[in-house]
Amino acid sequence: MSHVIEAMPDPDFLHVLVTRSAVAPDMLDLRNPAVEEQLRALYTPPRQAWVRMNMIGSLNGRVTGSDGTSDTLSNRADRRILTIIRKMSDAIVVGAETLRNERHLSTRPTWLCVVTSSGNLAGHRISTEDAAASVLVCCPPAARAEVERTLPGAHIHHLESQDGKLPLDGVLTALRDRGLHQIVVEGGNRLISQFLDQGKLDEICLTQAPVFAPNEATSLPGSIAGTKFERELLLEDSAQFLYQRLVTNSPRQSATA
Ligand SMILES: NC(=O)c1ccc[n+]([C@@H]2O[C@H](COP(=O)([O-])OP(=O)(O)OC[C@H]3O[C@@H](n4cnc5c(N)ncnc54)[C@H](OP(=O)(O)O)[C@@H]3O)[C@@H](O)[C@H]2O)c1
């Protein structure tokens, strides 16, 4: 376990406040190894082709705490759920600023897909070997040399920009063409807002930390789409963090793509 996670608050149980599962227990003991399987059951998506977001926010809707990253908002239960969702996913998608600012480590064996226009990915902590095993960068052709310089070893998929941005359909197709169907988008604000506006998310996983964060920190993503999500699950840990899982019943625009 990394020093950062070791230093985080360590809740010992989760209350199940809302669930649609008839067999979910009322309480999950985070010290019991069986909890991994119980959490997997609560977070399993209904089908293999599935796109969800997973983020943590403060009471004032900010995504970074006093250290300028999400580490100071999070706790060990949140990281445990994040890890379980990652392990159930074929690929994690992030915007380049998240990779740079969160100083991303390898997510091997789950693929990490980074979306960038600039190609400048400096700031991550991923080795060349790990990048070759499990990192895919989607970028315009002109950014290739910069990606090779700042994230050596990574696989590169070229997409043509439309109005200055890479098309999300192109990103999702690049993943599906590699057999990667179960996808979690972990941030940040700007990338997820595009997923929301274009109706590309089946599910929202959102942790709320019971603290306020600096006003100047980046906020949770916004959207003009007004998509309504319905709550499937609400957990509260013993440190009073809330964990919501919401799904949309609207057919996702990319469902048949
Ligand atoms: N609390 C949490 O759960 C959580 C999770 C993740 C991130 N975060 C925080 O969120 C912040 C980052 O969020 P953010 O909104 O600033 O950035 P972001 O969405 O992570 O990344 C934005 C960057 O991604 C690239 N990008 C996004 N959409 C693109 C598209 N369609 N085509 C091409 N490139 C695209 C661009 O990279 P280039 O600039 O390289 O062109 C853009 O500048 C950081 O502070 C991070 O620590 C928090």
255 within a domain of the structure (yes/no): no
1 within a domain of the structure (yes/no): no
Given the CA of residue 207, which atom of ligand 1 is nearest to it?
3
pLDDT at 22: 84
Ligand 1 lined by 72 (C-beta under 6 Å): no
pLDDT digits (tens, 9 = 90+) for 203-227: 999 999 999 999 999 999 999 999 9
174 within a domain of the structure (yes/no): yes
**pLDDT above 90 for 112:** yes
pLDDT digits (tens, 9 = 90+) for 93-103: 999 999 999 99
233 within a domain of the structure (yes/no): yes
Number of H helices, E strands in the chain: 8, 11
Joined tokens for residue 167: 């098309």
121 within a domain of the structure (yes/no): yes
24 within a domain of the structure (yes/no): no
Is the distance from CB of 209 to CB of 57 less than 8 angstroms?
A: yes
First-residue to last-residue Cα distance in the chain: 39
Ligand 1 pocket: which of 98, 103, 120, 196 to mutate (most atoms within 8 A of CB): 98
On average, the pLDDT of the chain sits at 94
Average pLDDT on 234-239 reads 98
- Structural domain including 154 reads 13-19+48-216+229-247
Joined tokens for residue 179: 């057999």
pLDDT at 257: 39
**pLDDT above 60 for 253:** no
Joined tokens for residue 35: 């909890």
Ligand 1 pocket: which of 117, 184, 208 to mutate (most atoms within 8 A of CB): 117
Q: What is the 3-state secondary structure (H, E, C) of 113-158?
A: EEECCCCCCCCCCCCHHHHHHHEEEEECHHHHHHHHHHCCCCEEEE
**pLDDT above 70 for 256:** no
Q: How many domains does the chain have?
A: 1
pLDDT band at 1 (very low <50, low <70, confident <90, very high): low
What whole-number distance in Å separates Cα of residue 139 and Cα of residue 228?
31
**pLDDT above 70 for 33:** yes
* CATH number for position 116: 3.40.430.10
Are β-strands 155-158 and 50-57 bridged in parallel, bridged antiparallel, or unpaired? unpaired
Joined tokens for residue 208: 């709320």
pLDDT band at 48 (very low <50, low <70, confident <90, very high): very high
pLDDT digits (tens, 9 = 90+) for 165-206: 999 999 999 999 999 999 999 999 999 999 999 999 999 999
Count CA within 13 A, CB hemisphere, residue 217. Answer: 25
Average pLDDT on 63-69 reads 94
Is the distance from CB of 40 to CB of 84 less than 8 angstroms?
A: yes
